[in-house]
Chains A and B, each alone.
Chain A
Amino acid sequence: MEIRYLTEGPVSAKIISDFVEKSARKTDLGGHSIFLGQVRADETDGKKVRAIEYSAYAEMVDIEAEKIKKFILSEFSDVNAVDIVHSTGIVRAGEISLLVFVSAGHRHQAMQACTRAVELIKENLPVWKKEIFEDDSHHWK
């Protein structure tokens, strides 16, 4: 699995299942908390979002995602692994644009750490979304 932090297009079911499969090799884990961010068909002025186009500062995403991983691992002693995959390019409404996969010895820290990781990603990852409406007009978020 060569995926770093960014993937072109939606986060596929294959990417998600690869992480689940990879975890099966570690037998000291008691639970995983998985967050999947999905593109919502929001409506603005009667226009519906059909997709989001994500752009990212890839080099800085690597640095910031690495910092988030290290922070989570140092804050939550029971957490064993943190994986992050964010989309770039076009992701249609209903598709997955963000995967956060946190593995721990026990469920409490897995869930808490996952929530914290998602918040840190929202705050610190240099990623931008452009909402594309059904009439092809767009809006920067």
Chain B
Amino acid sequence: MEVKVLFFGVLAEVSGTYFKHYREVKLLSDLKHRISDDFPEIVHYSFRISVNNEITDNDILLKSGDEIALMPPFSGG
């Protein structure tokens, strides 16, 4: 299985990428650990996480094709 992680705003700049695919990851909490291993600097920023366009604070079971977005505070307008 494979999921896609999107980096937005300052997080895209800090991580140096707009997206990255991760394989064989079961839980959102596992994915968060793998992301922070790959991009340790992002832990210094505040952000929310969405899974398939829904913001979530829960640890959830991921499935293949899920799109996870790391989103700093919104600043549109």
Chain A interface (Cβ < 8 Å from any Cβ of B): 37, 54-57, 59-60, 63, 86, 97-98, 118, 121-130, 140-141
In the complex, residue of chain B having the shortest beta-carbon distance to the beta carbon of A131: B75
Q: Which of B1-20 contact A (CB under 8 A)?
A: 6, 8-10, 12-13
Complex contacts, B72 vs chain A, CB 8 Å: 128, 140
Complex contacts, A140 vs chain B, CB 8 Å: 9-10, 13, 72, 75
- Chain B interface residue count, CB cutoff 8 Å, equals 15
Complex contacts, A122 vs chain B, CB 8 Å: 74, 76-77
Q: Which of B38-77 contact A (CB under 8 A)?
A: 50, 53, 69, 71-72, 74-77
Complex contacts, A121 vs chain B, CB 8 Å: 76-77
Complex contacts, A60 vs chain B, CB 8 Å: 50, 53, 69
Complex contacts, B74 vs chain A, CB 8 Å: 122-128
For the complex of A and B, the 10 pairs showing the least CB-CB separation, nearest first, are A127-B76, A128-B9, A140-B10, A141-B75, A60-B53, A129-B75, A125-B76, A37-B77, A122-B77, A63-B53
Complex contacts, B77 vs chain A, CB 8 Å: 37, 86, 97-98, 118, 121-122, 127
> Given the interface contacts A55-B9, A55-B12, A59-B53, does A128 sit within 8 Å of B69 by beta carbon?
no
CB distance from B61 to the nearest CB of A (A): 21
- Inter-chain CA distance A130–B50, complex, in Å, is 21
A–B pairs, 13, beta carbons within 8 Å: A55-B9, A55-B12, A60-B50, A118-B77, A121-B76, A122-B74, A125-B76, A126-B76, A127-B74, A127-B75, A127-B77, A128-B72, A140-B13
CB distance from B46 to the nearest CB of A (A): 12
Residue pair A57, B10 in contact (C-beta under 8 Å): no
In the complex, residue of chain A having the shortest beta-carbon distance to the beta carbon of B18: A55
